[in-house]
Amino acid sequence: MLKNKLSLALLLILCLFLGGCKKDEQAVTYTELTQSEVGEPGSDWGKSATGSAKYLDGTSVLVTIYLDDVNSLWLESDEQLVADNMKFACDYLAEQGKLYGKEVKLIYDTSVDSDLAYRLSYKDAFAGSTRGDKAEQLVYSVYDYIENNIDTQAILKKYNVNSIGYMVFIDGEADRCTAYCYQLEYRDYYYNEFCLINLRWNGGHNVYPDTYAHEILHLFGARDLYYTDKYDGLSRPFIDYVYENYDTDIMLGSGTNVVAYENKITSDITDITAYYLGWLSYLYEFEEYPHIKSKYPASFSEVEKVIGVDFMDYTVEARKLRGGYYTDEGRFIMTDEKISALIALIIAIIMLACILSKSYRMKKIYNMNSKQYKNYKNSLKRQKAKEKAGRQYAKQDNIISLYSSNPDIIDDKEE
């Protein structure tokens, strides 16, 4: 009897333990609902694996935050630059979405919706410190500012959306721009997602709209495809494969095989990035690279541990002439005007080379210095002129001889 009671007690404890585990598991289960399926604005806040910026399909809001540090000097032209680049980037994302049957609508224009523009006063000089303690302090300051100064739920309700991201713009120079995205393994971390974008690269070149689009895509789940990342399952063989086979993908950054422009974006959202955005559910690359599969669509989560895959730190080489590339001094940018000037310069150089080459060959053949070669060319011209004059005199002599030997020719004409 005692034995039966002990067995029953152990069974009851086991059931309670299993039930408790199941309850904990359910507590961290995330929704995979599209924006149209969620329902009321903000109804799944904190429950979506995507973070605050959900799927790039449907309507999302992008809030603008101008960072005012001790060195900021925001001019009207600077804010206009931000507005222009945002328009190019958001229009581009809408066009790319159509190619995959997605309707992408981003509400971002602060000239129309002034309530989407904020200013963050920062006590320190950020000075392009994208790494280290200064960068970390800024990131926490941005998170805290969003939490304490922006009524996210009110914005979601006003614009009837369930997806929101934040664009933080810095009046300064840096060697990179960055996006801070929600990660499942750090679910106790901040849920809001934002981009940090400097107006210029080190060296003074403006950041172009392709970078704006690149960083916005991060908020919606896109991965950087130019370096290895064990967390995301991006191995060196896969990175090399993308570099060779999807060389126009915008997420290749400086490795993309296209030219960067100040007024348009020529790179693409390829199938690889479309998968990470949740626009595609399958890639045939899974057969060779199964470790690139994402746990949830349009979200960041650590992939299952894989053995025998090379995740050593590696970055693809920047393409230097056909596309822009990042250096500590700034970014090399090709524009239409620069391309036209470069073509004209190349043509001029080729023509000059042909002239110099001909002169060099003549000097080499006749073993002359410059003065002797010039005199030689002048003598050739005089000789050709004499030959031409001689031919004219000979022609006249032939005519006179013809008339002299045939006087009837003149008589016939007189008759």
For the domain covering 35-334, report its CATH number. 3.40.390.10
Mention every residue, 6+ apart, whose C-beta is less than 8 A from residue 369. 363
Query: Which residue's entry shows tokens 């595609």?
Result: 280
Higher pLDDT, 9 or 145: 145
249-298 confidence digits (pLDDT tens): 999 987 687 888 888 999 999 999 999 999 999 999 999 999 999 988 89
At residue 173, φ and ψ (nearest 5 deg) are -115, 150
The radius of gyration of the chain's CA atoms, rounded to the nearest angstrom, is: 36
Q: Say what percent of the chain tops pLDDT 90.
A: 45
Strand pairing class (164-174; 194-201): parallel
H or E stretch at 153: helix 152-158
Rounded CA gap, 9 and 3, in Å?
10
Domain ranges of the chain: 35-334, 340-398
Phi-psi label, residue 174: left if phi above 0, alpha if psi -120 to 50, beta otherwise? beta
171-189 confidence digits (pLDDT tens): 988 888 999 999 887 766 7
Query: Which residue's entry shows tokens 């299993």?
Result: 18
* CA-based end-to-end distance of the chain: 160
Helix (H, G, I), strand (E, B) or coil at 128: coil
Strand partners, 326: 331
Q: Which of 35-39, 209-213, 381-385 has the highest mean pLDDT?
A: 209-213
Of 275, 282, 281, whose CA–CA distance to 251 is shortest? Answer: 275
Rounded CA gap, 167 and 177, in Å?
11
**Least confident window among 23-27, 75-79, 110-114:** 23-27
**Least confident window among 153-162, 250-259, 367-376:** 367-376
Q: Given this model, what pLDDT does residue 124 score?
A: 73
**Least confident window among 93-102, 212-221, 319-328:** 319-328
What does the mean pLDDT of the chain come to? 80
Q: CA torsion, points 224, 227, 232, 238, in degrees to nearest 10?
A: 110
How is 182-247 classified by DSSP, letter by letter? -BGGGTTS----EEEEEEEETTSPBPPHHHHHHHHHHHTTPPP-SB-BTTTTB-HHHHHHHHHH-T
Q: Residue type for 73, please?
A: L
Tokens representing residue 313 in the block? 């730190």
Of 272, 207, 265, whose CA–CA distance to 238 is shortest? Answer: 272
Q: Would you give the DSSP letter of residue 330?
A: E
At residue 30, φ and ψ (nearest 5 deg) are -105, 155
Q: Given this model, what pLDDT does residue 2 score?
A: 41
Q: Given this model, what pLDDT does residue 303 score?
A: 84
pLDDT range class, residue 367, cuts 50, 70, 90:
low
At residue 121, φ and ψ (nearest 5 deg) are -85, 120
Q: 116 vs 111, 128, 145, 235, 282, CA distance in Å?
A: 9, 25, 14, 39, 36
220-233 confidence digits (pLDDT tens): 999 999 999 988 99
- Indicate whether 363 pLDDT > 90: no
Higher pLDDT, 91 or 369: 91
pLDDT range class, residue 154, cuts 50, 70, 90:
very high
Of 63, 65, 44, 66, whose CA–CA distance to 55 is shortest? Answer: 44
Of 182, 181, 189, 185, whose CA–CA distance to 302 is shortest? Answer: 185
pLDDT range class, residue 21, cuts 50, 70, 90:
very low
Q: Given this model, what pLDDT does residue 94 score?
A: 98
Tokens representing residue 220 in the block? 């919606």
Residue pair 161/57 in contact (Cβ under 8 Å)? The answer is no
Of 398, 358, 66, 52, whose CA–CA distance to 220 is shortest? Answer: 52
